[in-house]
Amino acid sequence: MNINTFHTLITHLPVQQQCFKTKRSNWRKAESKIDWLEKMNDKLFENKETVSICRQDIFNTKDVRERIIKTIYWGYPRGMRGNHFVNILINIEIIEKAIKEFSIQKYQNSQDFEEVIQAFKAVPGLGLSTYSKLLYFFKVRLNDNQCLILDQRVIDVLSSKFYSNFKALSRISYSNAESKYFEYVEMLGDLSKQLNIEGENIEQFLFIFGNGLKKEAFQLDAK
């Protein structure tokens, strides 16, 4: 199947309005260990038990720390496993510093990008699923391509071999996805230029519909 088949759908996806709702109770444990988080949550939740965050809300947030928190709440509305969130918050200054540097630099190849990976690896609990979201929401670019989210759900689509456009990434898995992230960004960047749509639209399509379509139906249509 060629993803071009879904060009109209992908073009009209309401990417910036993709929203997730999270409960404050999911983050209470971290509040008890990180002194500044309670005050920030007071601001975000506004005395309500839940808050809904969409992509546009995150992009519109100017404060770096608040944008990091919103990114995590959006990406993990049910909370993060174990002590990942607390470990990330303990190292929040390292992440803030790295993001500020990454946002103003230009990365031309995978070797340049190694410094990005190494900086994030220094933070326990900060894996590819999380830092790819941060790179996306802070508009970091690789070889003039927009950084995009790469999590397990998207990885499963790429490795399914259903879409011929992603044949070069058919052997991707979460264990090797970090080394293939630059290739992923370039591939979706090239595809977005071919289709004249944003790379984030393709990423959202893969997340929502990628493995949610009945493959047999399209195989029959192709005969």
Looking at residue 110, what is its pLDDT?
72
Q: What is the pLDDT of residue 84?
A: 95
pLDDT at residue 216 in the model: 60
What's the confidence (pLDDT) of residue 211?
85
Range of the domain at 216: 3-222
What's the domain count of the chain? 1
Could you tell me the mean pLDDT of each successive run of 10 residues in the chain, 223 residues long?
A: 93 97 97 96 97 98 98 98 95 93 76 80 92 95 93 96 92 94 95 96 96 65 46
- Residue 112: the pLDDT is 73
pLDDT confidence of residue 220: 42
What pLDDT, on a 0 to 100 scale, did the predictor assign at position 217?
A: 56
**pLDDT at position 223:** 44
pLDDT number for residue 17: 98
Please give the pLDDT value at position 29: 95
Give the pLDDT of residue 115: 77
d(CA 41, CA 63): 14
